[in-house]
Amino acid sequence: IWTWYREDDRWAAQKVITIPAEPADPNQLPAVLKTFKACPSLVTDIELSVDDRYLYVSCWGTGDFLQYDVTDPFNPLLTGKLRIGGIVSRAPHPNGSEALSGGPQMVEVSRDGKRIYFTNSLYGAIDPQFYPNGIQGWMVKVNAAADGGIALDPDFFLDWPTGHLPHQIRLQGGDASSDSYCYP
């Protein structure tokens, strides 16, 4: 993950976060990844909290969902991590659900930064390349602590009807991505 910034009169960028692939048995990987012998993180979405303090990263491949404190954007600090779904891990939701397909994908952060929601489908045409047994759609809620840290809400798990894949989320009253601001 890169941070971009202005340096005098020109734009510059600096790599600030690296999320490595995880070694995996090729027999557990889809055809598209077998020769790599690893499961890539496959970062598919990032979301910045409205107060610019936390960056949320969805890793659709591994099933990781990460929270970074980006108060200093050149030195982000990992402050929260959870796992749900994933190509290899298929980690269940804490409500006792079965192993899950797909992983954290489209992220939406509430304006107050206390609630984060995400779904598990990237795109209908791409999902089967990484999840050849198909994706059963779901959406979850994550609770965020004010001083860092995240946890799945054990009482919030929406299982989509078979054949329907959730994608974009919008929160009534606004959210971090629809309430964006540009500064000169």
Q: Is the separation of the CB atoms in 155 and 125 below 8 Å?
A: no
Task: Please report whether residue 10 resides in a domain.
Answer: no
Which stretch of 17-31, 86-100, 159-173 has the lowest confidence by average pLDDT? 159-173
Q: Which domain holds residue 139?
A: 23-159
Count: domains in the chain: 1
Cα R_g (the chain), whole angstroms: 17
**Among candidate residues 55, 57, 82, 84, the one with its CA nearest the CA of residue 71:** 55
pLDDT exceeds cutoff 90 at 181: no
Task: Please report whether residue 165 resides in a domain.
Answer: no
* Averaged pLDDT, 168-175: 71
Task: Please report whether residue 129 resides in a domain.
Answer: yes
pLDDT exceeds cutoff 90 at 124: no
Task: Please report whether residue 181 resides in a domain.
Answer: no
> What pLDDT shows up at residue 98?
86
Residue-level length of the chain:
184
pLDDT exceeds cutoff 50 at 183: no
Answering whether pTM is above 0.85, one says: yes
Task: Please report whether residue 17 resides in a domain.
Answer: no
Q: What would the pLDDT profile of 35-47 be if each residue is shown by its tens digit?
A: 999 999 999 999 9
Task: Please report whether residue 184 resides in a domain.
Answer: no
For 41, 52, 75, 179, the CA distances from 69, given in Å and listed in that order, are 19, 9, 9, 20
Task: Please report whether residue 6 resides in a domain.
Answer: no
Question: Which residues of the chain form beta strands (DSSP E)?
Answer: 2-7, 10-15, 22-23, 38-39, 43-48, 54-59, 64-69, 77-83, 107-109, 115-119, 138-144, 150-159
Task: Please report whether residue 28 resides in a domain.
Answer: yes
Q: What would the pLDDT profile of 1-27 be if each residue is shown by its tens digit?
A: 999 999 999 999 999 999 999 999 999
